[in-house]
């Protein structure tokens, strides 16, 4: 009998490529790997539950836990990013510090996106900018028509309203209708009328990690609930396969004999990253990520998104948290 076939929707990151090209196999199963932009994957999975396994916004996943829990996750994190570099203002803006955004208007593509949750939480905790001291406008960054993927019920002291049907956040920033943007993606007009808030965001992000030990998680890997219930072995095998794929995909990243990536000083950046974040700077699993997950779950609850403050263990299929010790 043929092994079951599962469709996995995920961007083809270096850490996932060995699963896409078949170098790494999923124990007991076959994979149909769909390489899709993250926004498409999220929309199709949240709205239509199209895929057996999918990369998912950590924030959106947490919100689904109290809304029928259509998915369960494994502690595999395809996307991580520091987000101090995701705050944008006009090039001629006099705003140079986050606290100066108090009382102003900030655009976000969606209020609940993971990047925005991290930015709001970090600015409140470390830079003195209370979440409710800013008025939020939501909509497409460079294209009009984007709306929230999930219905939200925000606290009464938080103002978050959709922009007009034909408007974009980037143009509103350039026109002075918003004072800043929090975004996971760079605006197209970056360096052409738009700049990052922090003059040296890399150093700010390094200092943040040095203080907190946090390398923010953006996305998690989820399994459709009914698929997990029918194949309880899948969660652990998926976690194992992803660990192997990550190790293979990132091997040779600092090779100098023949550059695997078109970046001449990548080896130097790898050295700097290892020095700042440690040898395994992109860990999977619960315990190496507990501090990061606890911070995010606290932010999500404090910002009125999650219905309660979840514990990290509540996010994951129990099987994916166990390993055999011989």
Token digits for 97?
């510090």
pLDDT < 70 positions in the chain: 1, 324-325
Range 84-212 has CATH code 1.20.140.10: no
Assigned token pair, 23: 């170098």
Token pair 């996995």 is at which residue?
8
> pLDDT at position 92, please?
97
- Determine how many CB atoms are found less than 10 A away from the CB of residue 41: 23
Burial grade of 264 (CB within 10 A; 0-12, 13-18, 19 or more) = exposed
Helix or strand run (H / E) with residue 131: none
User: How much of the chain exceeds pLDDT 70, in percent?
Assistant: 99
Total-model pTM: 0.96
Q: Kindly list the domain boundaries of the chain, sorted by start residue.
A: 5-80+217-251+287-321, 84-212, 253-284
**Separation between Cα atoms, residue 38 and residue 13, nearest integer Å:** 11
Taken in order 267, 268, 271, 272, is the CA torsion positive or negative? Answer: negative
The architecture in CATH of the region 5-80+217-251+287-321 reads: 3-Layer(aba) Sandwich (3.40)
Q: Which two tokens stand for residue 134?
A: 């800013």
Residue 11, SS3? coil
pLDDT value for 1: 62
| DSSP state string for 172-222 | HHHTTSSSEEE-SSPPTTBTTTEEESSSSHHHHHHHHHHHH----B-EEEE
- Please check whether residue 118 is in contact with residue 296, taking contact to mean a CB–CB distance below 8 angstroms: yes
Residues 17 and 31 sit within 8 Å (Cβ to Cβ): no
Tell me the average pLDDT of the chain.
96
Residue 261 token pair: 């990536």
Is-same-fold flag (5-80+217-251+287-321; 84-212)? yes
Instruction: Give the pLDDT score at 323.
Output: 77
- Degrees to nearest 5, angle at CA 88 with 86 and 93: 155
Give the separation between CA 218 and CA 35, rounded to whole angstroms: 18
133 by DSSP, 3-state: which? helix
Q: What is the pLDDT of residue 241?
A: 98
């Amino acid at each position: 009998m043929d092994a079951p076939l599962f469709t996995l929707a995920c961007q083809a990151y270096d850490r996932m490529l060995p699963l896409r090209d078949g170098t790494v196999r999923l124990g007991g199963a076959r994979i149909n790997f769909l390489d899709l932009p993250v926004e498409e994957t999220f929309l199709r999975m949240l709205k239509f539950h199209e895929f057996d396994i999918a990369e998912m916004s950590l924030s959106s996943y947490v919100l689904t836990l109290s809304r029928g829990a259509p998915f369960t996750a494994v502690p595999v994190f395809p996307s991580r990013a520091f987000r101090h570099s995701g705050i944008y203002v006009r090039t001629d803006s006099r705003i140079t510090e986050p606290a100066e955004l108090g009382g102003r208007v900030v655009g976000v593509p969606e209020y609940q996106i993971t990047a925005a949750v991290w930015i709001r939480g970090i600015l409140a905790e470390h830079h003195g900018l209370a979440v409710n001291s800013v008025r939020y406008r939501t909509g497409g960054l460079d294209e009009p028509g984007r709306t929230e993927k999930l219905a939200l019920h925000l606290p009464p002291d938080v103002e978050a309203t959709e922009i007009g049907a034909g408007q974009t956040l980037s143009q509103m920033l350039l026109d002075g209708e918003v004072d800043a943007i929090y975004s996971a993606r760079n605006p197209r007009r970056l360096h052409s009328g738009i700049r990052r808030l922090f003059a040296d965001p890399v150093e700010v992000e390094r200092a943040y990690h040095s203080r907190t030990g946090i390398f923010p998680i953006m996305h998690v890997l989820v399994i459709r609930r009914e698929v997990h219930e029918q194949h309880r072995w899948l969660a652990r095998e998926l976690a194992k396969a992803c660990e192997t794929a990550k190790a293979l995909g990132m091997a040779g990243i600092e090779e100098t004999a023949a550059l695997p990536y078109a970046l001449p000083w990548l080896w130097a950046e790898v050295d700097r990253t290892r020095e700042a974040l440690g040898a395994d700077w992109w860990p999977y699993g619960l315990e190496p990520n507990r501090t990061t997950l606890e911070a995010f779950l606290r932010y999500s609850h404090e910002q009125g998104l999650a219905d309660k403050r979840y514990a990290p263990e509540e996010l994951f299929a129990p099987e994916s948290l166990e390993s055999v010790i011989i």
